[in-house]
């Protein structure tokens, strides 16, 4: 008790009461600490800006500048993840590959600006008719890919028909010229080709065979 009393008295001597309330004396922070805090805050802001820049550059590196779809690099990254999920968990998926029939003629007759307008329209139709979980890609030129996450062959065939009809119903009016995208689609599933090279090669070969068959019919 005497020790407690002594402690209490010592405390009272350190912090004397004024009108029944304790007063406290604070030692002001040295100027160097204020400068350090400002420096740290500046560094944090700089790091945030650099992180945002890196994220923006990564986004651009994986996307096609004309259409906003994934480019080849971005699509291969997405496909590798889906292939890994298929191998680990058995999650299905189907790759659709297509190009635009007669696209070279559009560029030759109406100019590359008209061709670009048609490519952007194709990208818009793809976005409007697929799910947010699907992967959409412009490989380059007039070649596109669509990967349907969780889909099998039957669902991919339905989607191919749906996209063909949607594109036919969404022509581009370029300087009074009506331009319509007509596509030939090749389809391959992860079940058939469980690796990236096999998947792309199978879809591409089926697209080519379909184009050749259509040419022979028209001839």
Active-site residues: which are they? 142
Q: What is the DSSP letter of 151?
A: -
CA distances from 30 to 39, 60, 111 (A): 15, 46, 70
Q: Is the CB of residue 126 less than 8 Å from the CB of residue 69?
A: yes
Place of tokens 């560029």: 107
How far is it, in rounded angstroms, from Cα 148 to Cα 203? 13
What dihedral angle (degrees, nearest 10) is formed by the CA atoms of 76, 81, 85, 87?
Answer: 50
């Amino acid at each position: 008790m005497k020790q407690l009393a002594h402690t209490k008295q010592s405390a009272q001597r350190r912090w004397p009461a004024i009108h029944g309330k304790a007063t406290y004396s604070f030692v002001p922070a040295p100027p160097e600490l204020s400068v350090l805090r400002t420096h740290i805050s500046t560094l944090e802001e700089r790091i945030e800006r650099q992180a945002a820049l890196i994220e923006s550059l990564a986004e651009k590196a994986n996307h096609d500048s004309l259409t906003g779809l994934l480019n080849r690099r971005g699509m291969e990254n997405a496909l590798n993840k889906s292939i890994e999920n298929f191998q680990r968990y058995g999650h299905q998926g189907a790759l659709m590959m297509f190009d635009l029939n007669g696209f070279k003629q559009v560029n030759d007759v109406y100019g590359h600006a008209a061709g670009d307008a048609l490519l952007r329209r194709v990208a818009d139709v793809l976005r409007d008719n697929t799910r947010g979980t699907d992967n959409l890609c412009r490989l380059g030129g007039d070649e596109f890919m669509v990967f349907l996450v969780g889909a099998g062959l039957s669902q991919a065939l339905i989607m191919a028909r749906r996209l063909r009809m949607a594109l036919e119903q969404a022509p581009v009016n370029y300087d009074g010229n009506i331009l319509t995208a007509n596509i030939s689609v090749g389809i391959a599933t992860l079940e058939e080709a469980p690796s990236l090279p096999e998947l792309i090669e199978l879809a591409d070969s089926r697209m080519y065979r379909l184009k050749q068959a259509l040419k022979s019919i028209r001839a």
